[in-house]
Amino acid sequence: MRKIAEAHRATFIQFVKFGIVGFAGFILDNATVYLGIYGFGLSRIAAGFLFFPVVVTFTWAGNRLFTFREAKREKMGRQLVKFAVVCAIGLVFNRGTYSLLVSTVPLAYDYPILGLLAGTAAGMFFNFFVSKKLVFR
């Protein structure tokens, strides 16, 4: 019973670390989306997709160095590709939620950060558990 509790505790700590890295990624994501909208004149949806690879690379590095630093080391390029594939699937949850909200909810259109927050939450659980099992073993 003690081993089960310790395993759950370790997973919880990793999830919190994943959330910290994700929050930093969210700040970067938010900055790049606003840059795309107001700096480059992109639509909200185009801006939401354009800079996503930057955020994926940033969060992969943070998770490799902080969240899952005890995980077996895999070649960086291979691990980044695996993480990007997981994030691409998670993108359906993340950017799907974001796109739906900024397209249908006037408040989210006016304040894209609301759509980004909802999308981040939607993708976070999927990305954590799949990354833990497939990317950072």
The H-or-E segment that residue 36 falls in is: none
Handedness of CA 91, 30, 67, 3 (dihedral sign): negative
Split at pLDDT 50, 70, 90, the class of 6 is: confident
Task: Convert the pLDDT of each residue in 34-93 to its tens digit.
Answer: 999 999 999 998 998 898 899 999 999 999 999 999 888 889 999 999 999 999 999 888
- As a whole-number percent, the residues of the chain with pLDDT over 70 amount to 99
Candidates 119, 16, 120, 27; CA nearest to 68 is 16
pTM of the model: 0.81
What angle (nearest 5°) sits at the alpha carbon of residue 7, between those of residues 122 and 128? 20
